[in-house]
Structure 1
Amino acid sequence: MHLTLGSPTRSVPEHRGTEGRWAYRRDVDGLRAVAILLVVSYHVWFGRVSGGVDVFLMLSAFFLTRGFVRRMAGPAPVRPVRHLLGVFRRLLPAAAVTLVGILAVVWSVYPETMYRSIAEQAWASLGYVQNWLLAADAVDYYARTDVPSPLQHFWSMSVQGQAFVLWVILLWVCQIAVRRRGWSPDRVVGVVFGAVFAISFVYSVVRTASAQQLAYFDTGARLWEFAAGSLLVVALPRVRLGAVARVVVGWAGLVGLLVLGAVLDVQGGFPGFLALWPVLCAAAIVVAGSGETGRFSLARVLSARPLQAVGRDAYALYLVHWPILVTFLVVNGRTEVGLVGGAGIIVLSLLLARLLTWAVDRPVRAWRRTDTSSLVPVTVLAVAAAVVAVPVGAWQASTWLQERAIEERALQANPGAAVLRDPSLSKPPADAPLLPLPTLIDDEWVHLDRECSGEWANDVEMLRGTCSETTGTPRARHTIAVIGDSHAQQITSALLPVAEANGWGVVFLIKGGCSMGLDEPGMDERCDGWREAAIELVERVRPDAALTVVTRSDAGEDDERLRPGIERFLDRMDGAGVPVLGVRDNPRFAFNMYDCVVGSDDPLDCAVPRSASLADRNPADDLDRPGLHLVDLTPWICPDDLCVGEIGNVAVYRDDNHLSRLYARTLSPSLAEQLPATIG
């Protein structure tokens, strides 16, 4: 978080009155402590967010703005570039040390499937853009989310870093206006950040209502919280509360903060207008503590030594608590920590936070006081960046070279389903690694070459980003449209070699979680609209065939069955004169098959009887339609009625239910045998 999470500068004497807004506030240190304790406890024990981060966002802008406003019209105005360098010089070293520590732990105890994404997130965290990476994953059906990232909490620091840059620019513009025009600093700042507040708040409410998961990480939807802190600086000397009112307002603000996480679904409803709750509560506490402190004043409680100690290490505590929590869950294979485990995590977090503050944060601040050269922040930032960039870059480079070398041997060492057709291929070299490599598992989604063009091009909003084609499709005499969900997407890997050999074009109309079972609930509320738009496009273009998955397997007690409403889809295709290649679904499991195979000495330990997921006979056999051609690849996915996770040194699955791209490609000869004699 911002420098407000660390120890404040204590050279300013405490005093009250109009200029009291410049004074050192022990109660605000205590407020930081309350906020970080809420964040940590809710993360550890409740698996929820508390609103404490929103308090930090507001307070960081409060202190940044306060420093500017105090000097705007004085003899020593703020120099924006140097000030910004100083802010990041204060923040980055502790963050860099934390990042390196996390990477070391990840490479020691985390599954290899997470290496690549965590390396990418390390770069994003170092560059203060982690929030945008997480925003993309939050709306990405294909992102692996079964294990949380130990770097996920860097999203808020990325939002702050971006806001700090914008704030320094805006405050610098305000400073120029004040010094050249002689305008009041409070008035200029109030107008500028009042406008920022209004615009960002409206955007936040609209964005949260339409795409909450993305809005949660969206900097634009959070700027009003920073603006609230800037406006508080302007409003503070103008707010006059009596002694009783200060007591009531302060304690009401604290109670509001404490109950927020229990009353509201902060993660599911924020930011939007609901985030006004923690922002207003924090503002109430700051306002209540700006006057004389009486016997029952909240400011006295917040100034207590234990809270001051926690507030001193708040930034470091935020940095270390989340990776400790996630590592505990990963190492122990758990989803909850329990009372004792949670207490241990919090104690360890407090100890490491104290160590990080003492060993990194305090020396950096001390260097600033003893050497005011402009080279100091530049040097600190360069060293901190290199501490992270060098090991991450070296690891990525060595991994890339290893992956290329393995790919060159893959044809001989990783035959996949070919071993079921040619037993002589059943013994790959002893040193041949299983493919796909854990670091490349996220590449195992099947994608086509480019966006739809020609007669497949369309401007239907529902289809945006879901229609793609192979390069040769516009010139192909015959075209197959693959339509449906991610299971249809993955089986396309078996179709592509056949299409290439025959000169066919292949078109994707794919949306994760939206099958062609027209009565089947989708994983996306927009599935029904997307299905109709996709089917209408197929009806208009009339490809030579449409391929989709017509059954649905299950990892639980339910038997494999026809997709609900698949008959209505077949009726639509029959009416358009489009033959359908109806593929039987592949098995699904109650566990991640890829992780099981990678972590097991014997792949058979992960095997599951075919009957646990598939019916004894293909339910699609009951579909008696002249334009339907059934495709059943089960014998090459579950040989001898046993669904294994590895065949021919290739992982059959990429997760708990999707075929890997590499294995599906080795099914191409078996698929070709089941296609009709002619396409078109």
Structure 2
Amino acid sequence: MRHAAVKGRRTHTRNSHGPRPDIQGLRALAVGIVVIYHLRPEALPGGFVGVDVFFVVSGFLIIGSLAREAAKKASISVLDFYARRIRRLFPASAVVLAAVLAGTVLLLAPSRWQNISSDVLFSLLQVQNWHQALSAATYAGATQEVSPLQHFWSLAVEEQFYLVIPFFFLGLIAAARAAGQKAGRFIVPALSVTALASFIYSIYLSGHEHTMAYFATTTRIWELAVGGLAALLPTMLKGSARLSALSGWLGVSAIIVPAFLFSTDMAFPGSIAAIPVLGTAILLRTGTESTAVPWSASRVLGIRPMTFVGDVSYSLYLWHWPVIVFAVALLGRTPRIREALILAVVSLALAAASYHLVEQRFRHHSGPADWRAYRQVYAMALCVAMVVSVAAWAPWQVIEFKRAQLSTELSDHDYPGAQAWSARPAPVPAGLPIRPDPSVAMQDVPATSAGACGVYDPALVPDTDCWFGSTGQQGAPVVVVVGDSHAGQFVDPLIAVSRKIPLRIHAMVRNGCPFTLTPPRSAATVYTNCSAQNAVTAEKIAAAKPDLVLVAGMREAGYRKALGWSWGPDAPLLDGYVQSLSRLRAAGLRVSVVADLPYPQGNPVECVQKHADGGACATPASEALSDGEDALVSAAGRIDGVDVVNLSKLFCRDGVCPAVIGNVLVYRDNHMTNTFAKSLGPELAVALGLG
């Protein structure tokens, strides 16, 4: 979300030389919807449409302003445009970035420092939207793990738009000059084509790559372009104040109703995004004509409480999300209604302070529009950027130092891990620090995390890739590991085994893709890609004739918690597992299924950081082991010759499943730390009959 430059509460448009307080009220409506959505997503599940409102408003004001400049001067001052953008937007965002860094170090667990430090840099460089798109983040309510800077994605979209739009106008001006036309002759046609192309692409990508579509700049350009067209196209309702007033309320409805009815499961921002976008455009176009009608939407939006919130809406958007995320981290849960109201008031107070002490101080420049003035603006921005970057680098380096410890081999005597609970228990020395250090536990990942070995695609990954263990010994037995990321956890224990017993391990692991032939589904999408690839993978394994196939996967309840996925009654997960395992057995292969691990409660990493010995971080076995049916184990029971390996005795004892066993941190999230996984090697080898 971003706001175009205004002076105080005065916002001007093409068809009005007077103030437009209704636009400030529209900003208040938009930011209010977003704040409520972030505080209580169940109350306003489509509140994210407030961001779309801001995109349209920005396009309306920025494109309208540049079009007037082009018509008046037959040119665009790029330096002046960028200087205004920097003064308007950068100071407040820089203060928030600095505050988030300080809050992260003071209030959050060290395990989160590095990720948030990188988010600061992504936000500073205005590429947070692409970072979110490529990291498969979702735009949903705050949790204890979500970044306090996730909301900077929408700011990045607009910054990228601001970077390009003046050159877009300069190109159109040059084309008009070459054709002997007025400077603005091609602006509306070019905007229309751009909007249509972006809209079509948005529909396509929303149906195929939902997360990418949500955050991508290319799927949002049409919203900004629609705002620009609303500023430039002639009104159709001029002289009809009542009809304009009715149209304005239609526009308000097109924003508010989706806020209640839409959800992040929908293919957004596809075609359905046109509802709030066009509603906003209608409000912007009819606002001037309807002001004479006392009951018009523009009059209601223009009342002082609305314009006040509109004035501070940019700062309110910047501050509210970090406030919520830090509160959730401290509370350990989502805020209750009274707490949510307090957070809203705190956010508004911070926004008001930021507006008066930061935004307004830097916003207006009374000096001459010369290169010296521009240099001052750019020098200020560069200095602040450097300070924030250095501040972000410090916590990054602290964690990087600890991460280097992950490559150090631990003594089996000091850190027995799972061997502390094996058939012949190893002693556990007291007084040693837990390993891996919880602050870097999320980076203690299996070998399959490198390259394409964790996103195995049988059509793209060569058969010669993703081999581990005794790869140089051609006669060594071959073990294929297949399944999702929970299967990938067993590659490193097998690598550890291969140091004593010759073993070649072929990883055919695809994160988020259990080895089933029935597709998972979310509320709006059926993911057939996974099951289709599994069918090909099963044929490849059958043709390769390995000595053993190890299959593992997260339970359906885990997928429901982690990704919101489930399997329908027409294509249950169990049936898909039966089909895939049957294909392997039909080829005469030896198949072993490893039962899914106990599912930890809460965030074990952050809990251990708060409680050094990890004693308060155990999950009751009744909860960790009763997370619904393990469909893979059930499927194995239906097929002759499929063995089942259950390692839960190495995770749970006396009714509890600790977060630390044998001085080793067991979990990094719902996965094992790789350090603990490797300690499973001897027991896994015995269970699989490898010697």
Query: TM-score, normalised on structure 1?
Result: 0.86
**Residue of structure 2 aligned with 1:573, choices 584, 588, 601:** 584
CA deviations 1:286-329 (Å, max 9, x no partner) are: 11123373142433333322222222111101101111122222
The reply to whether residue 671 of structure 1 matches residue 681 of structure 2 is no
Q: What one-letter code is carried by the residue in structure 1 that aligns with 2:593?
A: G
Report the Cα distance in structure 1 between the residues aligned to 2:502 and 2:545, rounded to whole angstroms: 18
- Give the AA of the match of 2:399: T
AA matched with 2:70: M
Q: In the TM superposition, what is the alpha-carbon distance from 1:115 to its structure 2 partner?
A: 2.3
1:645 corresponds to which residue?
659
Name the counterpart of 1:558.
none
Q: 1:546 aligns with which of 544, 549, 552?
A: 549
- State the partner residue of 2:668: 654
* Whole-angstrom distance in 2 between the partners of 1:457 and 1:242: 61
CA displacement at 1:445 relative to structure 2: 4.8
| Residues 73 and 179, structure 1, Cα contact 8 Å, conserved in 2 | no
Listed one character per residue, the Cα deviations across residues 492-538 of structure 1 (whole Å, up to 9, x for unaligned) are 22112223554533222223444346579678733432321221121
CA displacement, residues 367-407 of structure 1 (integer Å, 9 cap, x when unaligned)? 46577522022112212212320111122123212332575
How far has the Cα of 1:547 moved from its partner? Answer: 0.8
Shift of 1:544: 2.5
- Alignment RMSD: 3.7
Larger mean CA deviation between 645-654 and 182-191 belongs to: 182-191
1:21 CA drift (Å) = 4.7
Q: Tell me, what secondary structure is at the counterpart of 1:470?
A: strand
SS in structure 2 opposite 1:508?
A: strand
Matching residue of 1:34: 29
Q: Distance in 2 between matches of 1:550 and 1:27?
A: 54
Bigger CA drift: 53-62 or 178-187?
A: 178-187
Q: Comparing both structures, which one devotes a greater share of its residues to helix?
A: 1
Aligned to 1:525: 527
Equivalent position SS for 1:77: coil
In 1, the alpha carbon distance for the partners of 2:496 and 2:3 equals 57
| Residue of structure 2 in register with 1:494 after alignment | 493
Offset of residue 550 of structure 1 = 8.3
Residue equivalent to 1:20: 15
- Output the amino acid matched with 1:416: G
Q: Is the Cα contact below 8 Å between 1:414 and 1:650 reproduced in 2?
A: yes
Pick closer, same or farther for the CA change 1:198–1:64 going to 2, 3 Å. same
Moved more, 563-572 or 151-160: 563-572
Match of 1:586 among 583, 590, 597: 597
Question: Partner of 1:417 in structure 2?
Answer: 418
TM-score (norm 2): 0.84
**What's the offset of the Cα at 1:127?**
1.2
Contact 1:7 1:311 (C-alpha < 8 Å) held by counterparts: no
Task: Quote how far apart the aligned CAs of 1:579 are.
Answer: 1.6
Between stretches 353-362 and 21-30, larger displacement belongs to 21-30
Structure 1 counterpart of 2:255: 257
Output the CA distance in 2 between the equivalents of 1:265 and 1:621. 35
**1:426 pairs with 2:428:** yes
Task: State the shift of 1:197 in Å.
Answer: 0.6
Q: Provide the secondary structure at the position in 1 that maps to 2:28.
A: helix
326-335 or 471-480: bigger deviation: 471-480
Amino acid at match of 2:438: L
The equivalent of 1:400 in structure 2 is: 400
State the partner residue of 2:304. Answer: 305
144-153 or 512-521: bigger deviation: 512-521
Contact 1:247 1:298 (C-alpha < 8 Å) held by counterparts: yes
The alpha-carbon deviation at position 9 of structure 1 amounts to 8.2
Q: CA deviation at 1:222?
A: 0.8
8 A Cα contact 1:65 1:233, kept in partner = yes
Report the alpha carbon displacement of residue 428 of structure 1 after superposing the two structures with TM: 5.0
Deviates more, 1:623-632 or 1:367-376: 623-632
Unaligned runs of 5+ in 2: 559-572, 627-631
Partner AA of 1:392 in structure 2:
A
Distance 1:241 1:660, change over 3 A: farther
Contact 1:635–1:641 under 8 Å retained in 2: no
Q: Which amino acid aligns with 2:376?
A: V
Secondary structure of the residue aligned to 2:527 is: coil
For residues 409 and 468 of structure 1, the distance between their equivalents in structure 2, rounded to whole angstroms, comes to 23
Deviation string for 1:407-431 (max 9, x for gaps)?
Answer: 548437544234456867511544x
Q: Which runs of 5+ in 1 are unaligned?
A: 556-561
Equivalent AA in structure 2 for residue 498 of structure 1: V
Structure 1 CA distance for aligned equivalents of residues 157 and 549 of structure 2: 45
**Contact 1:72 / 1:179 at 8 angstroms: preserved in 2?**
no
Aligned to 1:447: 448
1:337-376 equivalences under 5 Å are: 337-338=336-337, 340-367=338-365, 369=367, 372=370, 373-376=373-376
Judge conservation of contact 1:554–1:588 (CA < 8 Å) in 2: no
Equivalences for residues 137-536 of structure 1 within 5 A: 137-138=135-136, 147-236=145-234, 240-265=238-263, 268-291=266-289, 293-296=291-294, 297-338=296-337, 340-367=338-365, 369=367, 372=370, 373-404=373-404, 408=408, 410-411=410-411, 414-420=415-421, 426-430=428-432, 432-447=433-448, 450-451=451-452, 458-459=458-459, 468-470=466-468, 473=471, 476-477=474-475, 478-516=477-515, 525-526=527-528, 527-536=530-539
In structure 1, distance between residues paired with 2:436 and 2:185:
64
- Cα displacement (A) at 1:138: 2.8
Write out aligned runs for 1:45-56 (5 A): 45-47=40-42, 48-50=45-47, 51-56=49-54
Q: How far apart are the structure 1 equivalents of 2:79 and 2:504? A: 55
Pair 505,169 (structure 1): closer, same or farther in 2 beyond 3 Å? farther
CA distance in 2, matches of 1:409, 1:571: 40
Structure 1 residues 234 and 625, CA gap change in structure 2 (3 angstroms): closer
TM-superposed CA distance for 1:57, in Å, is 0.5
Aligned length in residues: 655
Partner Cα separation in structure 2 for residue 251 and residue 344 of structure 1? 31
After the TM superposition, which of the residue ranges 437-446 and 626-635 deviates more from structure 2?
626-635
Would you say 1:95 and 2:106 are equivalent positions?
no
Counterparts of 1:270 and 1:9, CA distance in 2: 32
What amino acid does structure 2 have at the position aligned with 1:537?
Answer: K
Secondary structure of 1:548 counterpart: strand
Q: Give SS of 2:217's match.
A: coil
Report if the CA contact (8 A) 2:110-2:399 is conserved. Answer: no
Q: How far apart, in 2, do the equivalents of 1:196 and 1:644 lie?
A: 56
Task: Tell me if structure 2 keeps the 8 A contact 1:324–1:349.
Answer: yes
Distance of 2:145 and 2:462 partners within structure 1? 29
Question: What is the alpha-carbon distance in structure 1 between the residues aligned to residue 280 and residue 449 of structure 2?
Answer: 50
- State the Cα deviation string for residues 341-371 of structure 1 (Å, max 9, x = none): 2222222111111111112111112346577
Shift of 1:612: 5.5
1:225 deviation in Å?
0.3
Offset of residue 252 of structure 1? 2.1
Instruction: Specify whether residues 475 and 173 from structure 1 end up closer, same or farther in structure 2 by C-alpha distance, changes over 3 A only.
Output: farther
Q: CA, structure 1 residues 116+317, in 2 after alignment: closer, same or farther (shift >3 Å)? A: same
Q: Is the 8 A contact 1:450 1:470 kept in 2?
A: no
Query: In the alignment, which residue of structure 2 is the partner of 1:131?
Result: 129
- Which secondary structure does the structure 2 equivalent of 1:187 belong to? coil
Q: Find the residue that maps to 1:582 and give its secondary structure.
A: strand
Question: SS at 1:483's partner residue?
Answer: strand
Q: 1:369 to 1:358 in 2, by over 3 A?
A: farther
Which secondary structure state, in structure 1, belongs to the residue aligned with residue 334 of structure 2? Answer: coil
C-alpha distance 609-245 of structure 1, shift in aligned 2 (>3 A): closer
**Structure 2 CA distance for partners of 1:433 and 1:227, relative to 1, 3 Å:** same
Give the partner amino acid of 2:386. Answer: A
From the superposition, tell whether residues 577 and 502 of structure 1 become closer, same or farther in structure 2 (CA, over 3 Å): same
Relative to structure 1, the CA distance from residue 666 to residue 187 in structure 2 (aligned partners, 3 Å threshold; closer, same or farther) is same
Cα pair distance change 1:514/1:300, threshold 3 Å = closer
2:561 aligns with none
Greater displacement, 52-61 / 576-585? 576-585
